[in-house]
């Protein structure tokens, strides 16, 4: 028994060397190996096209997860999977189209009858609602409910945890504290949003922002009927405006959605609503979940975080199984921030030295190898418009350039190296591994790195507090970031716009405050043409890379398994995950 195992492992290692390396580089559909075995769609088939297109209704979609939802309340959720899941029960004015790959980034009118009317100065957005829209209880969805839903987010002491972009955009100095303390009799006291009638809603911004529609596509801008709002406990029973409603909510155990008969398919631009019910089962046993997936008794990993190591090894050695997997970008870049405010990184040559000395292959291995992410040279992930292969430091070559690194050290005036500290979340094994790998790599040029593991719960008050970063001498910070909405500013602005630096909860760890970069964001915000905006983001990205503020480790990927019985499987770039709402089951069970 033991012997078989080890022989198999050796054989596996040999096969893998051949197969996996072939798909390390770019996303790009099938890599050609053994597609079509047992009618399976093939490795990476769902990355940019629809696998098993079908309109067959019925059955139960069995989603499994080893992580519980953070909240089902659309105003309080921040997990990408919950945002994706919300498409079953929370409609928004605009929503991401149900299409594979980049096509999924497009916003289509959902509750709105058409794209908004935008005033000439770009500050006023007027939406008309479709008629006959109903909640699960049959009551009508009005523009006031959308306004109320947005207002809830302002009550951050009650509706905490979700995105707060709308507050920044719509408060405009009013100091609005949410509907629960609102003195307005209708609890609709937020001034920047007007609802002249039940089917019209008008947003007035302080300055133009071409990304504003994306903020309205988040669940935190979905309608909530005031009568049925239960405040902090709304997540126990969110009122559905979509094709499914909650039958049961059992935190830590599972959730079940059943058809919402009051949802009108004719009013919906893309939702398929194929299965009769959707079950999300929470387990603490990731191995068990993976064996269920491979056995076909579970349909999909809801968290979309990739198979566990054991299952991954099994899948990669078996082409029939591998054909049911996708290894897609999930929109995250893992990186190390280099902090210029901490000496000697105030000198760009010292920052350059780190970039040249970094052993990117070792860093990639520390995160789980090529399956878990591709080497990447810049700071705009592949699923966002404006992303390119820019790599002036040759990071994607996978080898450190020690000569250059030593030369940079000399120019920095530190030919004999220096000491610094890398901050890393102690509860993230992959990040700790990355920090240790970086420590080892930098030793080669005599940079002596201390690894400081801080409590991962305290991001906002440790690495998110510039004062703390300075006082603790964190020259390097290991982190990762995924966009909250898929545009260049959605991804980059919190990381590199100097005006986003805060004393607590900061994400611009490098404290980049370059007027040229800030100006480019403003230009992009005023730019109505996404292609032109994308070009501006590309410029921002290049400037950030040239400034040597970041050492990108990998563009994250996750190897996910899809049950062959699933229909309409595709990965949408909007979430970097399979689009849950489109799924059906071919056997009707």
Partner 1 sequence: MTTPTETTGPAAGAEPEANSAAAVAKKIEGRSPGRIAWDRLKRDKVALAGGAVVILLILAAIFAPVLTALFGHPVDQPHPDQINPDLGLPKGSFGGINSDFLLGVDPTFGRDVFSRILYGARISLLVAFLAATVSVLIGVVMGIMAGYFGGWVDSVISRVMDVLLAFPQLLFSIALVSVMPNSLLGLNDTGVRVLVLVVVIGFFGWPYIGRIVRGQALSLREREFVDAARSLGAGKAHILFRELLPNLVAPILVYATLIIPTNILNEAALSFLGAGVRPPTPSWGQMLSDAVAIYQSDPTYMVVPGLAIFITVLAFNLFGDGLRDALDPKGN
Partner 2 sequence: MLVYVFRRLVNVVFMLLVVAAVTFGIFFMVPKLTGSDPALLYVGKIADKAAVEGIRHKMGLDKSIIEQFWLFLKGIFVGRDFNAGVDVTHCSAPCLGYSFKTEREVWPLLLDRVGVDFSLAVGASILWVVLGTGTGVVSALRRGTLLDRITMTGALAGVSLPMYFTGLVALAVFANNLGWFPNNYTDFADDPLLWFEGLVLPWITLAFLFAATYARLSRATLLDVLGEDYIRTARAKGLAEPVVIGKHAMRSTLTPILTIFGMDLGGLLGGAVLTEKTFNLRGLGYEAVTSIASSDLPVIMGVTLFAAFFIIMANLLVDMLYAVVDPRVRLG
Residues that bind partner 2 (CB under 8 A): 1, 71, 78, 155-164, 167, 177, 180, 229-233, 235-236, 251-252, 283-285, 287-288, 427, 455, 457-458, 460-461, 464, 484, 494, 502, 504-505, 507
Residues 71, 75, 78, 79, Cα dihedral to 10°: 50
Residue 444 interacts, among partner 2, partner 1, none and using kind-specific CB cut-offs from 5 to 8 Å, with none
Q: Which of 62, 92, 220, 370 binds partner 1 (CB under 8 A)?
A: 370
Q: How many CA atoms lie within 13 A of 360 on its CB side?
A: 26
CB 318 within 8 Å of CB 100: no
**Window 18 to 57, contacts with partner 1 (CB under 8 A):** 20-21
Residue 464 interacts, among partner 1, partner 2, none and using kind-specific CB cut-offs from 5 to 8 Å, with partner 2
Residue 22 interacts, among partner 2, partner 1, none and using kind-specific CB cut-offs from 5 to 8 Å, with none
Residue 504 interacts, among partner 1, partner 2, none and using kind-specific CB cut-offs from 5 to 8 Å, with partner 2
Q: Are strands 577-578 and 571-572 parallel, antiparallel or unpaired?
A: antiparallel
Place of tokens 């699933």: 566
Q: Does 309 bind partner 1 (CB under 8 A)?
A: yes
Strand partners, 554: 334, 375
Strand partners, 552: 335
Chain centre distance of CA 582: 19
Q: Does 5 bind partner 1 (CB under 8 A)?
A: yes
Q: Which of 298, 432, 551, 585 binds partner 1 (CB under 8 A)?
A: 432
Q: What is the three-class DSSP state of 557?
A: strand
Q: Does 103 bind partner 1 (CB under 8 A)?
A: no
Q: Does 159 bind partner 1 (CB under 8 A)?
A: no
Q: How far apart are CA 328 and CA 410, in angstroms?
A: 41
For residue 225, how many other CB atoms are within 10 A of its CB? 19
Per CB under 8 A, the segment of 46-54, 105-113, 431-439, 579-587 that binds partner 1 is 431-439
Site residue total, partner 1 (CB under 8 A):
42
**H runs (alpha helix) in 25-105:** 80-86
Q: Are strands 124-128 and 200-204 parallel, antiparallel or unpaired?
A: antiparallel
CB 130 within 8 Å of CB 111: yes
**Window 444 to 473, contacts with partner 1 (CB under 8 A):** 451-455
Q: Which of 93, 328, 357, 362 binds partner 1 (CB under 8 A)?
A: 362
Per CB under 8 A, the segment of 331-339, 349-357, 423-431, 544-552 that binds partner 1 is 423-431
Nearest to 91 by CA among 145, 40, 41: 145
Residue 460 interacts, among partner 2, partner 1, none and using kind-specific CB cut-offs from 5 to 8 Å, with partner 2
Q: Which is nearer to partner 1, 69 or 395 (CB)?
A: 395
CB of 433 to partner 1, least distance (A): 6
Q: What is the three-class DSSP state of 562?
A: strand
Q: What are the residues whose beta carbons fall under 8 Å from the beta carbon of 447, sequence distance 6 or more?
A: 353, 354, 357, 417, 418, 419, 420
Q: Mark residues 252-291: x for contact with partner 1 by CB under 8 A, - for none.
A: -----------------------------------x----
Per CB under 8 A, the segment of 154-162, 190-198, 363-371, 524-532 that binds partner 1 is 363-371
How many residues can be counted in the chain?
589
Q: How far apart are CA 105 and CA 95, in angstroms?
A: 9
CB of 373 to partner 1, least distance (A): 12
Helix and strand numbers, DSSP H then E, in the chain: 16, 21
Binding site for partner 1 (CB under 8 A): 2, 5-7, 9-10, 12-13, 16-17, 20-21, 287, 308-310, 312-313, 316, 361-362, 364-366, 368-371, 426-427, 429, 432-433, 436-437, 439-440, 451-455
């Amino acid at each position: 028994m033991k012997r078989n195992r080890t022989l198999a492992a050796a054989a596996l290692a040999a096969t893998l060397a051949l197969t996996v390396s072939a798909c390390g580089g770019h996303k790009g559909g099938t890599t050609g190996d053994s597609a079509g075995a047992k009618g399976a769609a093939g490795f990476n088939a769902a990355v940019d096209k629809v696998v098993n297109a079908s309109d067959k209704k019925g059955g139960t979609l069995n989603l499994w997860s080893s992580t519980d939802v953070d909240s089902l309340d659309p105003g309080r959720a921040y997990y990408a999977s919950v945002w994706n899941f919300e498409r079953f029960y929370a409609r928004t004015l605009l929503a991401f189209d149900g299409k594979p790959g980049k096509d999924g980034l497009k916003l289509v009118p959902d509750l709105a009858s058409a794209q908004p009317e935008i005033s000439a100065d770009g500050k006023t957005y007027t939406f008309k609602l479709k008629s006959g829209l109903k909640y699960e209880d049959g009551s009508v969805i009005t523009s006031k409910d959308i306004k109320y839903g947005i207002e809830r987010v302002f009550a951050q002491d009650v509706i905490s945890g979700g995105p707060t972009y709308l507050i920044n955009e719509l408060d405009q100095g009013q100091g609005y504290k949410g509907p629960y303390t609102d003195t307005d009799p209708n609890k609709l006291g937020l001034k920047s949003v007007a609802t002249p009638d039940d089917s019209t809603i008008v947003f007035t911004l302080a300055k133009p922002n071409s990304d504003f529609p994306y903020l309205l596509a988040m669940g935190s801008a979905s309608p909530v009927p005031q009568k049925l709002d239960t405040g902090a406990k709304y997540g126990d029973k969110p009122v559905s405006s979509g094709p499914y409603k909650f039958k049961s909510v059992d935190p830590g155990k599972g959730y079940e959605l059943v058809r919402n008969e009051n949802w009108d398919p004719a009013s919906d631009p893309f939702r398929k609503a194929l299965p009769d019910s959707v079950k999300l089962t929470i387990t603490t046993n990731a191995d068990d979940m993976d064996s269920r997936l491979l056995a076909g008794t579970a349909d999909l990993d809801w968290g979309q975080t990739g198979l566990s190591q054991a299952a991954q090894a099994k899948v990669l050695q078996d082409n029939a199984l591998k054909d049911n997997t996708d290894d897609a970008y999930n929109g995250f870049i893992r990186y190390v921030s280099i902090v210029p405010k901490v000496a000697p990184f105030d000198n760009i040559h010292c920052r350059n030295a780190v970039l040249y000395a970094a052993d990117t292959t070792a860093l990639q291995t520390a995160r789980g190898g090529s399956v878990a992410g591709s080497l990447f040279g810049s700071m705009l992930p592949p699923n966002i418009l404006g992303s390119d292969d820019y790599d002036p430091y040759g990071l994607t070559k996978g080898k450190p350039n020690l000569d250059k690194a030593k030369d940079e050290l000399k120019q920095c005036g530190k030919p004999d190296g220096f000491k610094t500290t890398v901050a890393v979340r102690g509860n993230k094994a992959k990040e700790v591994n990355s920090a240790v790998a970086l420590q080892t790599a930098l030793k080669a040029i005599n940079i002596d790195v201390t690894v400081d593991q801080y409590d991962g719960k305290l991001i906002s008050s440790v690495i998110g507090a510039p004062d703390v970063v300075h006082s603790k001498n964190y020259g390097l910070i290991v982190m990762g970031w995924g966009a909250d909405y898929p545009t260049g500013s959605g991804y980059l602005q919190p990381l590199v716009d100097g005006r986003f630096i805060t004393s607590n909860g900061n994400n611009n760890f490098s404290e980049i405050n370059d007027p040229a970069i800030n100006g480019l964001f403003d230009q992009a915000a005023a730019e109505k043409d996404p292609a032109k905006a994308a070009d501006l983001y590309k410029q921002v990205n290049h400037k950030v890379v040239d400034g040597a503020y970041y050492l990108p480790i990998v563009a994250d990927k996750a190897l996910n398994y899809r049950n062959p019985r699933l229909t309409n499987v595709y990965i949408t770039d909007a979430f970097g995950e399979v689009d849950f709402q489109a799924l059906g089951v071919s056997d009707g069970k």
